[in-house]
Homo-oligomer: A and B are copies of this chain.
């Protein structure tokens, strides 16, 4: 498990190389990249963060995912600070021997990251700024996993 909470950007290929420097390549790799939406009048996305808490929470989320699915490697990067539309926000890489495990675990991790990790997004538009509110659907998506 490798978790980074930082301002710098990431390059997917380098992160896969980093994983494979630790261990032989796995057969199935699921990757999710979240980016700042390109939206009319959106100038910047500012992400506030409580880094120590975010890292703790992400560790717990990954631990829960590892209890449910057979995973080989998990690598997560979540950025904070001031980002332009189109820039990377988050990267989740899960690897396993079978694709079902890495797909499900990846989606599980993203669902919990959305509502349980200590990050807060503020949208800076041409004419206003707005703290993003937690979505009801993000909470229900997360709860769906608990009913399994």
In this complex, how many residues of chain A approach chain B with their Cβ under 8 Å: the count is 30
Q: A residues 109-138 with Cβ under 8 Å of B?
A: 110
How many copies of the chain does the oligomer comprise?
Answer: 2
Contact B32 A27 (CB under 8 A): no
Q: A residues 21-63 with Cβ under 8 Å of B?
A: 24-38
A73 close to chain B: CB less than 8 A: no
A37 to chain B, nearest CB (A): 4
Contact A32 B31 (CB under 8 A): yes
A107 close to chain B: CB less than 8 A: yes
Contact A27 B34 (CB under 8 A): yes
Q: What 1/0 mask marks residues of chain A from 66 to 109 whose CB sits below 8 Å from any chain B CB? A: 00000000000000000001100000000001011001001100
A interface, CB within 8 angstroms of B: 11-13, 16, 20, 24-38, 85-86, 97, 99-100, 103, 106-107, 110, 141
